[in-house]
Chains A and B, each alone.
Chain A
Amino acid sequence: GQNIDQPTEMTATEGAIVQINCTYQTSGFNGLFWYQQHAGEAPTFLSYNVLDGLEEKGRFSSFLSRSKGYSYLLLKELQMKDSASYLCAVSAYSTLTFGKGTMLLVSP
């Protein structure tokens, strides 16, 4: 079976750095994805990791450790528009299994 855990909520202030963790236990692994979902909108793709290490993309970075079943999404220089739900998803056998998402609230 698939099990993906991430914190339910996090808060941070504008300009700060926040790290959202994700742990997973899955049968099969083809990669780990992070999506951002604003309220009432579609999830949008943020990042992808298939090998261990850090992938950097502007203000967002994502890290993967396959041996530990662990990933994190790092958001730097937080902006108010970063307030959203962040979904960790694991790909296996051509399907994605999503975690419950972490609601991030950025305050001034």
Chain B
Amino acid sequence: SAVISQKPSRDICQRGTSLTIQCQVDSQVTMMFWYRQQPGQSLTLIATANQGSEATYESGFVIDKFPISRPNLTFSTLTVSNMSPEDSSIYLCSVEQGADRPKNIQYFGAGTRLSVL
């Protein structure tokens, strides 16, 4: 399975600022995903990021708040913009490896723990 590195692993930020989270994969992958996991909750998909196209956002998430870049097949960033305490959460990236299709297994990074004061 792919090895996925996320940076930073955790951060404490002031409200109104922005944080960019990086996700690096050790192999080329077509589909990358960004999730949010709020305290005591399960994972909620924010968006799907495919190389060479705009990210596809799920209901309740918008590009202005969570801009995503996908410059190549091994890297993506998620920015949490104009943060408020409600954005405090764990943010995870995941990848789907083509070799696993049609199972569509997703492999996850360790996550970024964000606290907004």
Contacts and interface: CB of A to CB of B under 8 A. Distances in A.
Nearest to A85: B42
Nearest to B35: A98
Interface string A25-62: 00000110100000001111100101000000000000
A42 B109 contact: yes
Nearest to A99: B42
Contacts of B44: 98
Interface in A3-34: 30-31, 33
Contacts of A94: 31, 48, 104
A96 B106 contact: yes
Nearest to B59: A1
B42 A100 contact: yes
Interface in B46-105: 48, 58, 92, 102-105
Main secondary structure of the interface of A (DSSP, over half): strand
A92 to B, nearest CB: 10
Contacts of A43: 43, 92, 108
> For A30, A31, A42, which residue has the most chain B Cβ atoms within 10 angstroms?
A42
Contacts of A44: 108
A95 B43 contact: no
Contacts of B109: 42
Interface in A62-108: 87, 89, 91, 94-101
Contact of B48 (A50, A95, A99): A95
Nearest to B92: A42
A98 B43 contact: yes
B104 A30 contact: yes
A33 B43 CA distance: 13
Contacts of B107: 45
Nearest to A1: B59
B116 interface: no
18 contacts: A30-B102, A33-B105, A42-B108, A44-B108, A45-B1, A45-B106, A45-B107, A48-B103, A87-B42, A94-B31, A94-B48, A94-B104, A95-B48, A96-B45, A98-B44, A99-B42, A100-B42, A101-B42
